[in-house]
Amino acid sequence: MYKVIDIPGLVPFVQKYISSGWEGISTFSILVVIAFLAASYFLPKELERKHLDPTHADWLLILGVFGTFVGAKVFFIFEIWDQVFIDTPGFDGKYLYPLTHFDGFPGRPGLWSSLFSGSGLVFYGGFLFGILFISLYMIQNKLDVKAYLDAAVPSMALGYAIGRLGCFVSGDGCYGFATHADIPVLTFTYWPTSAVPSGVPVWNTPVMESFVSFLFFIYFQKWARFQNFKRFSLGAQYLVLHGLARLGIEFLRVNKAVIPFFDPPVQSNIPGASGETTTFLNGYYWHGFSQSQYVSIAIILVGLYFLVKWKLWEKEPVPA
């Protein structure tokens, strides 16, 4: 006979915070799974081609995905920090209240509700934590970190391209601000049921990023990986290329500046789906480097540093 363990408060917690309001599998989740499956197809093949152990592919993928979601959530909390911990009339304890109340201040994103929700993911947090997790795994198992990271680059580029399509089809928040340009695919009016019903044409930044990342995948998959570059050349190239692409895209995205160079929009906080989204998107503009842009610059500099220090444009000598 099995004994049922009753944990006080568990059922109400699950009903309130996990099971309530669930509307089925999202399109974003489906595309994330497709991205994972695509990477799980290409990575073992590349490890075999490079005479590396393909049995590590599963752990590299699992840790990469896990690190991605953990880091993306952590960076998202930093991004909305000023909305979570605020001076609100009638509430004592600016820092204590969000810690003790799951949903945070009324009308504001909560710390715990944001951390455990299915939305709100910042790519660079996921990118850095994913790299950290798989690097620690490789160090622990005494693997050639440079060679394994090179082997993972095509899969990373493809996975990111598919994931950005997931952001687009779900109507997520990685959109651009309003534009008068009318360019097929590059501009788009979000549908009313999306997370951000704009009603005005905006820059279609998710599809832009996806397209560029697909180009990176083709470059690495069809050409660069066969050039016998020095170890970590592909990794350093990817850092520079992806950093430049993200740096440029961010000029069109709705993101607050860390240190504003120009007067920021009057409505500085991104409104919810029921807010004045149309006015907000029309009134938004780039006013200084965002968190992602500063991280992009750092990643570009790191990639260039390794390219120059190790002369990674050179090729390994061909064995006799």
Q: List, for residues 185-197, the tens digit of each pLDDT value.
A: 899 887 766 766 6
- Beta-ladder partners of 229: 315
Residue 6 has pLDDT above 60, yes or no: no
Task: Report pLDDT for 5.
Answer: 38
Task: Report pLDDT for 25.
Answer: 63
Residues 149 and 139 in one domain: no
- Do 148 and 138 form a contact (C-beta atoms < 8 A)? yes
Which of the residue ranges 8-22, 84-98, 151-165 would you say has the lowest mean pLDDT?
Answer: 8-22
Residues 103 and 154 in one domain: no
Distance CA 114, CA 74 (A): 10
Q: List, for residues 214-252, the tens digit of each pLDDT value.
A: 999 999 999 999 999 999 999 999 999 999 999 999 999
Domain end position, chosen among 143, 177, 205: 143
- Residue 210: pLDDT band by 50, 70, 90 thresholds? very high
- Do 189 and 273 form a contact (C-beta atoms < 8 A)? no
Is residue 108 annotated as involved in ligand binding? no
260 or 276, greater pLDDT:
260
Residues 186 and 249 in one domain: yes
Residues 81 and 179 in one domain: no
Domain end position, chosen among 128, 143, 158: 143
Task: Report pLDDT for 11.
Answer: 42
Residues 127 and 262 in one domain: no
Q: List, for residues 99-137, the tens digit of each pLDDT value.
A: 887 888 877 888 888 888 766 677 777 888 989 999 999
Candidates 314, 297, 203, 204; CA nearest to 242 is: 297
Task: Report pLDDT for 49.
Answer: 95
Average pLDDT over all residues of the chain: 84
Q: List, for residues 49-99, the tens digit of each pLDDT value.
A: 999 999 999 999 999 989 888 888 888 888 778 788 877 666 666 778 788
Task: Report pLDDT for 17.
Answer: 45
pTM of the model: 0.84
Distance CA 86, CA 108 (A): 9
Report residue 12: phi and psi, to 5°: -60, -35
Report residue 178: phi and psi, to 5°: -65, 150
Which of the residue ranges 20-24, 263-267, 298-302 would you say has the lowest mean pLDDT?
Answer: 20-24
Task: Report pLDDT for 20.
Answer: 44
1 lies in some domain:
no
Task: Report pLDDT for 128.
Answer: 87
Distance CA 6, CA 40 (A): 39
75 lies in some domain:
yes
Task: Provide the residue range defining the domain that includes 260.
Answer: 9-37+145-319
37 or 122, greater pLDDT:
37
Residues 114 and 84 in one domain: yes
Percentage of residues in the chain having pLDDT higher than 70: 84
Task: Report pLDDT for 91.
Answer: 63
Distance of CA 200 to the CA centre of its chain: 25
Structure tokens at 198: 């704009």
Task: Report pLDDT for 10.
Answer: 42
Task: Report pLDDT for 14.
Answer: 39
Q: How many domains does the chain have?
A: 2
2 lies in some domain:
no
